[in-house]
């Protein structure tokens, strides 16, 4: 028996060593942790239950029969994060470059299916040279099977991808179908074709970092939701994100203990809105002042900064926040901000996370680049996402709510449940000056008359009361008591039941 146990321990130790000390050292030299070190940091201490430690590939081509490392380049299993279950896989770059064989894929597929059956999220840590070149179509088939599981799991359990090394070729499409992608600065990249192929096909000379590094994907392409300095920070932030999310689409998000007074009055909010309507202010200040313990988990911070998206807690409960940011492009809606917010709204809706919308929007961005880029279609995404969302929706207009953007930003007409406005709200088809120039065209060149018309328009519409008289605004609230009003609004909606008409699925303008 002792021999048998020793043999088990010897095999386990060999599996734990992955591709050997030399390759582990080289991984560390690149500033990267190993697959197992990452799992250890991600999960609660001692909670990891590993599967398929001894699984190997079955390939015999190109001398592969001589190397059959246990685990085949990926560590899989489940564990807990702050006591809540999660399934994980972590690719081991020290074993054949973390490349994906049929067996490697089968291990990932196994935990994805278990995650769906058991209603727990999936976190994938990607560090791989892509499809195992020696396996050909078996490896491609493996990827295809993973993609199909990503699709099946979408909207059933949250899926989070961490990119912690290379992620190239079709391999990028599994993370792309998950809910959130985090990257590590300077050590991870994602692209469909690498710099060499780009040079051959298009003659462009570009580095891997420029083509698909963390900066590119958080600022330009919006493929990644955030980027962090190193593996440790990326993993710590993943644990923090996980705490906001429900385990699956039938579970409520976790309620955390909170130490902040619900009735906390913030007198400074009474003066947040500047006297001059064209002067910006920082919408983040409002978010931080209403959130439990001033904690805001922002996503896509570097992309389309004219809209803010992320999670806060109110009375310990997760709330998804979408907010126009007057500091950037006056908070206008455009192609990028509409896409960013629409995807976030849809995530919240699939996982039963209530949505708070903070509105200060001068309208949609005009211009040929927007029209040629399809702002009609992309703006419609946000409109559609809000209109189809059946989770509790609470909206607060702080200042401008002009034109179509008024409708889009979770207005009463899109079935928002509670619509508040500050006394500083202006709900109109457009700004007073522009409106007067159009309806009093004849007086356009007479500054005095135009000023009088502008004042008249302002007096009539630059307030929340016309909308409140019609019931489009449920209540005009004091800025200082915003936190308690929002907490009460969401508390009143905890039993909300709403259904859309039966359909196979909708046809959101993609
Ligand atoms: C088999 C691979 C591999 C792969 C790396 N390795 N990628 N083995 N299949 N795809 C092995 C290397 O041979 C090497 O083995 C070890 O992993 C480490 O790789 P290095 O090249 O030494 O590391 P590094 O210099 O850091 O470069 C990493 C890399 C490079 C940039 C990822 O390895 C690379 O370009 N690999 C190929 C990438 C690729 O073209 N993949 C296919 C993409 S297409 P030894 O034994 O020397 O340690 C694809 C299709 C997906 O993925 C299909 C979905 C539809």
Query: Could you please report the per-residue DSSP string of 37-68?
Result: HHHHHHSPTT--EEE-TT------GGGGGG--
22 within some domain: yes
| Token output for 287 | 């978010």
Output the pTM of the full model: 0.95
What residues pair up with 131 in beta bridges, in sequence order? Answer: 100
Together in a domain, 235 and 273: no
Q: Are 353 and 344 in contact (CB under 8 A)?
A: no
Q: What is the CATH number of the domain that holds 290?
A: 3.90.226.10
Q: If 0-12 CB within 10 Å is exposed, 13-18 middle and 19+ buried, where does residue 161 land?
A: buried
Q: Are 349 and 357 in contact (CB under 8 A)?
A: no
pLDDT at 460: 84
Together in a domain, 412 and 437: no
Number of compact structural domains in the chain: 3
Together in a domain, 233 and 273: no
360 within some domain: yes
Together in a domain, 436 and 346: no
pLDDT at 496: 97
Say how many C-beta atoms besides its own lie within 10 A of residue 110's C-beta.
18
Together in a domain, 454 and 414: no
183 within some domain: yes
What residues pair up with 398 in beta bridges, in sequence order? Answer: none
223 within some domain: yes
Helix ranges (DSSP H) in 51-169: 102-118, 137-153
Together in a domain, 236 and 351: no
H or E stretch covering 368: helix 368-372
pLDDT at 293: 96
pLDDT at 436: 86
pLDDT at 227: 98
Together in a domain, 332 and 207: no
| CA–CA–CA angle 296, 299, 305 (5° rounding) | 100
Together in a domain, 440 and 477: no
pLDDT at 437: 86
507 within some domain: no
Kindly give the number of the ligand 1 atom that is closest to the alpha carbon of 166: 32
Of all protein residues, whose CA lies closest to atom 38 belonging to ligand 1? 129
Domain boundary residue among 242, 275, 303?
242
Together in a domain, 469 and 401: yes
Residue 434 and residue 400: Cα distance in Å, rounded? Answer: 14
249 within some domain: no
Q: Which of 22, 24, 29, 129 to mutate to test the pocket of ligand 1 (most atoms within 8 A of CB)?
A: 129
What residues pair up with 359 in beta bridges, in sequence order? Answer: 397
ipTM: 0.97
Task: Give the distance (Å) from ligand 1 centre to CA of residue 99.
Answer: 6
pLDDT at 446: 87
pLDDT at 288: 98
Catalytically active residues are: 169-170, 404-405
374 within some domain: yes
Together in a domain, 84 and 7: yes
pLDDT at 66: 85
Q: If 0-12 CB within 10 Å is exposed, 13-18 middle and 19+ buried, where does residue 137 land?
A: exposed
Together in a domain, 457 and 481: no
pLDDT at 369: 97
Which residues line the pocket of ligand 1, CB cutoff 6 A? 96-97, 99, 129-133, 140, 143, 166, 168-171
pLDDT at 316: 97
User: Which residues form the domain of 486?
Assistant: 267-425+463-491
Residues of the chain with pLDDT under 70: none
Q: Are 500 and 415 in contact (CB under 8 A)?
A: no
254 within some domain: no
Together in a domain, 131 and 276: no
């Amino acid at each position: 028996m002792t021999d048998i146990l020793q043999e088990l321990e010897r095999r386990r130790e060999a599996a734990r060593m992955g591709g050997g000390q030399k390759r582990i050292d080289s991984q560390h030299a690149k500033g990267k942790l190993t697959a197992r070190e990452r799992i250890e940091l991600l999960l609660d201490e001692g909670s990891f239950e590993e599967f398929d430690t001894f699984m190997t590939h079955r390939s015999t081509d190109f001398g592969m029969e001589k190397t059959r490392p246990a685990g085949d380049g990926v560590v899989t299993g489940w564990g807990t994060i702050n006591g809540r279950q999660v399934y994980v896989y972590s690719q081991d770059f020290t074993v054949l470059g973390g490349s994906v064989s049929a067996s490697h894929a089968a291990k990932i597929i196994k935990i994805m299916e278990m995650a769906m059956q058991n209603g727990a999220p999936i976190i994938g840590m990607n560090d791989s040279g892509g499809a195992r070149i020696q396996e050909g179509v078996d490896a491609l088939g493996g990827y295809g099977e993973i993609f199909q599981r990503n699709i099946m799991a979408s909207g059933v359990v949250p899926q989070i991808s961490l990119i912690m090394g290379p992620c190239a070729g079709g391999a990028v499409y599994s993370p792309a179908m998950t809910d959130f992608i985090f990257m590590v600065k300077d050590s991870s990249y994602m692209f469909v074709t690498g710099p060499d192929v780009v040079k051959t096909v298009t003659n462009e000379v570009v580095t891997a970092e420029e083509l698909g590094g963390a900066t590119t994907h958080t600022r330009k392409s919006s493929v990644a939701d955030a980027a962090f300095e190193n593996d440790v920070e990326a993993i710590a932030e993943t644990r923090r994100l996980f705490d906001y999310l429900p385990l699956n689409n039938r579970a409520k998000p976790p309620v955390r203990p909170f130490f902040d007074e619900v009735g906390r009055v913030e007198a400074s909010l009474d003066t947040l809105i500047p006297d001059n309507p064209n002067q910006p202010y920082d919408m983040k200040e409002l978010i931080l002042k209403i959130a439990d313990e001033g904690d805001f988990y922002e996503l896509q911070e570097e992309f389309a900064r004219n809209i803010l998206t992320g999670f806060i807690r109110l009375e310990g409960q997760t709330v998804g926040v979408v907010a126009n940011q007057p500091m950037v492009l006056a908070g206008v809606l455009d192609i990028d901000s509409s896409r960013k917010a629409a995807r976030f709204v849809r995530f919240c809706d699939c996982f039963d996370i209530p949505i708070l919308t903070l509105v200060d929007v001068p309208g949609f961005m005009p211009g040929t680049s927007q029209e040629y880029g399809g702002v009609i279609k992309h703006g419609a995404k946000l409109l559609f996402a809000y209109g189809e969302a059946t989770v509790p929706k609470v909206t607060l207009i702080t200042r401008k709510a002009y034109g179509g953007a008024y409708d889009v930003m979770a207005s009463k007409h899109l079935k928002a449940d509670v619509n508040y406005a500050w006394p500083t709200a202006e709900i109109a088809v457009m700004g007073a000056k522009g409106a007067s120039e159009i309806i009093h065209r004849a007086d356009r060149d007479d500054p005095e008359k135009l000023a009088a018309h502008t004042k008249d328009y302002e007096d009539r519409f630059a307030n929340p009361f016309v909308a409140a008289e019609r019931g489009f605004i449920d209540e005009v609230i004091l800025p200082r008591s915003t936190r308690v009003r929002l907490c009460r609004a969401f508390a009143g909606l905890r039993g909300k039941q709403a259904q859309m008409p039966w359909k196979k699925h909708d046809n959101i303008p993609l």
